[in-house]
Amino acid sequence: MKLDVLKYPDARLRLKSAPVERITEEICRLAEDMVETMYAEDGIGLAAPQVGRPLRLVVVDLSGPSRREAATVYVNPELEILGEETQESEEGCLSVPDLRAVVKRGARVRIKALNLRGEELVEEADGVRAICLQHECEHLEGRLFLDRLSRLKRNLYNIKRKKILTGDDA
């Protein structure tokens, strides 16, 4: 089932997520619904807080857009940036509509998590996958990629977003 994606400035996006205590049928269904939502929204990643569930659960799939067959579910992910090398890339976010901006992040990461069978998953990533994992894991801490932009860019986006939400496009 496709879920509604929360949009900035919804305060629920700023909540710190709680660990998943047990992998239940409900958690598996939430992960399945998140994957469906990510695909429907043409995203490459989605965190549970973005659909109003403040839980440490992330889904990622970089196989699209024409194929959608490599979704990975991360339960209670712990992310470590490896080394000091950084990379810059243009990012967007399903919860921050109408904004794309260049963001600087770690070039390589290691993620430790559980899969939906409760098995430990350890993965190292670079490139777009590293960017996506960092982006999604920040959602679990109540942070948005918007927070990584300059104050000027954030303020300009806030003005634009307020006009859209109030219908004042003049």
Positions annotated as catalytic residues are 136
Given its phi and psi angles, is residue 133 left (phi above 0), alpha (psi -120 to 50 degrees) or beta?
alpha
CB of 34 within 8 A of CB of 59?
yes
SS3 label, residue 104: strand
Pick the closest to residue 110 from 87, 85, 133, 142 (CA basis).
133
Whether residue 54 is preceded by a cis peptide bond, meaning omega within 30 degrees of 0, is: no
What is the rounded CA–CA span in Å between residue 98 and residue 165? 12
SS3 label, residue 68: coil
What is the rounded CA–CA span in Å between residue 91 and residue 98? 11
